[in-house]
């Protein structure tokens, strides 16, 4: 550590960063506890998961071309995710299996 910076100064800086981090992590819980009965929060709870999935699908498909090495893994991965989710209703299983199919096919076809 440079001589111009004292240990107390570093500890004080770390303490301030720690307090700010904890406060920022608590802020959403405090806000949601006050807004729990809000129609906006209920609306977001219903529609936000589907919106996030649409954004992820669009992100996945943005670099897809007509070359078989790009569209086959993407379509197969999405088909696995949709099929498994409709069959098992398990988001974790669907996402992991779809990702695995995508990665394996992308590696094999590249």
To the question of pTM greater than 0.85 for the whole model, the response is no
Cα–Cα distance, 67 to 64 (Å, whole number): 8
pLDDT band at 15 (very low <50, low <70, confident <90, very high): very high
pLDDT digits (tens, 9 = 90+) for 62-103: 888 888 888 999 999 999 999 999 999 888 899 899 999 999
Binned at pLDDT 50, 70 and 90, residue 8 comes out as: very high
Q: Give the separation between CA 101 and CA 110, rounded to whole angstroms.
A: 14
């Amino acid at each position: 550590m440079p001589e111009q910076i004292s240990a107390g100064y570093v500890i004080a800086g770390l303490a301030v960063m720690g307090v700010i981090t904890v406060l920022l992590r608590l802020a959403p819980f405090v806000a949601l506890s006050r807004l729990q009965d809000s129609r906006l929060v209920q609306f977001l709870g219903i529609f936000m998961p589907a919106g996030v999935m649409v954004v992820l699908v669009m992100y996945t498909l943005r670099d897809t071309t007509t070359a078989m090495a790009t569209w086959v893994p993407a379509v197969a991965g999405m088909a696995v995710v949709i099929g498994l989710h409709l069959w098992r209703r398990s988001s974790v299983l669907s996402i992991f299996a779809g990702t695995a199919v995508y990665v394996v096919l992308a590696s094999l076809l590249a």
